[in-house]
Structure 1
Amino acid sequence: MKPILVAAAVSLVVSILFTPYLIRVFSRQGFGQEIREEVQSQHAAKRGTPTMGGVAILVAMWVGYLVSHLMGGDPMTASGLLVLGLTTALGIVGFLDDFIKIRKQRNLGLNKTAKLVGQLIASVLFAILAIRFANSNGVTPASVELSFLRDITVISFGAIGFVIFAYVAISGWSNAVNFTDGMDGLAGGTAAMVLATYVLISFWQLRNDCFAPSGPMPGCYTVRDPLDIAVVAAAAMAACVGFLWWNAAPAKIFMGDTGSLALGGLLAGLSMVTRTELLMIVIGGVFVVEALSVVLQIVVFRSTRRRLFRMAPFHHHFELAGWAETTVIIRFWVLAGISCMFGVGLFYADWLEKAMILK
């Protein structure tokens, strides 16, 4: 428990203190946000607000993780480093996207091909490495089997299939978080709740590890490095909370694609190393709805030449309907909390059922 608390505390302090430094630096450099034409009237005052604040989240997350290991003396693990590496790689893709937007003074950065290639490289490297590095018990960071609350042993992708699946999942989640990042603190607050949920899940997997010294327990989990996964999730959660201090309405800085792509990759990575890939759809329900709203908007418009929503992603639909921005944000946070609680409930119910059956 101590490494988790240390990672969270250090990451929170670094994020809160480092973010205002970035605000000053980015403001002097003119690294300001460009606003979509469709919402110019609602968000005109935000034009020029410093962006690329995701740098603070990444730095705080890494510092919290490293300090936790330095103080605790526990070795870093393949699972933790792979998830952090995936998060950082996608953060770099997002940083390039943000930087191009700033230099060209428009709300379009990397073209779709360049962004997809960046996501592809990060995803393939993660997937290949995640099914290697078996520990002494023969458990790898990720499994080639599809998972919900645990691995679904009857559905196996095979090595090549898992690489393809990982790319789809990672690019899907990174884009979903990116779509959600359109209002002050919306993506950051939602991500913090999802990450807090994964702290609970990975800690529970640690307490019910099939390879614990005391031997396998009823309903135990075959997950490699659950403690280190919890440390990563705690550091990232605290980094988001610290950043939210400055990103909440009215935002002093935006996370930009640097933060949103990184956080999406982080969530996808956590779902794979905890063997909860389909459960993430429940826990991250707000991100799923935001992404689906974009897809549905495109499909309906191309089919009927009419718009299903006033604007996609979904949060802008309510804004254009007259809701105040803070009202939209808080209500979406409430929905995110409900999704997380429902996901935890499903996870615990599965453990309880298996524990009772095995007893």
Structure 2
Amino acid sequence: MPRIRTVALAAGAALLARRALRRRIAVSPLWPLPALEEPVSGQPRSRALRLRVAGHEKVADGVVQLRLEGARLPGWLPGAHLDLVLPSGLVRQYSLCGDPEDTSSYTVATRLITAEQGGRGGSREVHEQLREGAVVEVRGPRNRFPLAVAASYVFVAGGIGITPVLPMLRAVEAAGAPWRLLYGGRSRASMPFLEEVEKLGGAGRGRVTVVAQDEDGLPDVAAFLDGTPPGAAVHVCGPEALMDAVAAALPDGCSLHVERFTPRTSTEGDTAFEVELRRSGRTVAVAADTTVLAAVRAELPDTPYSCRQGFCGTCRQRVVEGEIDHRDELLTDDERTGSMLICVSRARGERLVLDM
């Protein structure tokens, strides 16, 4: 994925920069993780918030929206997400899709993913247990998908991938920056926030292209991106195939910014290596077809984990020696210096040493 770079300021984009400056402390890349010297585990941390579920609303087929109430909540910018610690102890991430100016509540939305679809129970807990009045532990906000400052904007969202994009649309519209959106889904009834998205686009202005698969088939990403001027920032969130299509058709001179809701699944080229657990005095072999987490837990069964997909951070460990092949979707560049998520990341060489 190309490195995110800022390009020329568009008219009105200075407003976004000023807002970012005002909130630079609240949305520090390290918020709300503890320093690396503190234990990293699935246990509650001192900076976690406990918020009340004030709203539980169906916003599309299979999609519910939660409004989580608190007071003087940490600020956030478009693209940010929260970690929710669910009643079972599972940790799941959901993009903020409400108003960044609202310091009394956070809004997130999630689609129900059944076991047959590969779900592991997190979304079902949200749908069935986080009813109005429930209290949930929240960590964040964090932002691995910030809105770039650019001459113009192109957004591509698939299904629930609209959630981090929606606040971006509101921000660029308020700033007067040029933008276009391609929004795809299985059906119009399954696409959350569709009415608001179309209203933001303005009738007859051609800024929003909606593609419902049951009516229109799959979106033609290349055709949509054709003619995008150099300097545009292309933000995409959705299924892996959609992201691959955008990356393949990215026009010259445009920057690509992605948010994944599912992990990279390819293991092509993976090789075996060994991991020394320095404090435990043990060394484990990690086969090409397994993970560091699985190998470590065979020796240290109490090693904490949750999502096993590189999203939650529960399995984060300090790396003492060795080069890391980072494959997570959580850690910032600074956080990746000297630490890794052992559920997905691997060694680039033949050996890693972990502080375990």
Q: Please, what TM-score do these two structures have when normalized by structure 1?
A: 0.26
**Structure with the larger strand share:** 2
Q: Which has the higher helix share?
A: 1
Structure number with higher relative contact order (C-alpha < 8 Å, ≥ 6 residues apart): 1
TM-score (norm 2): 0.26
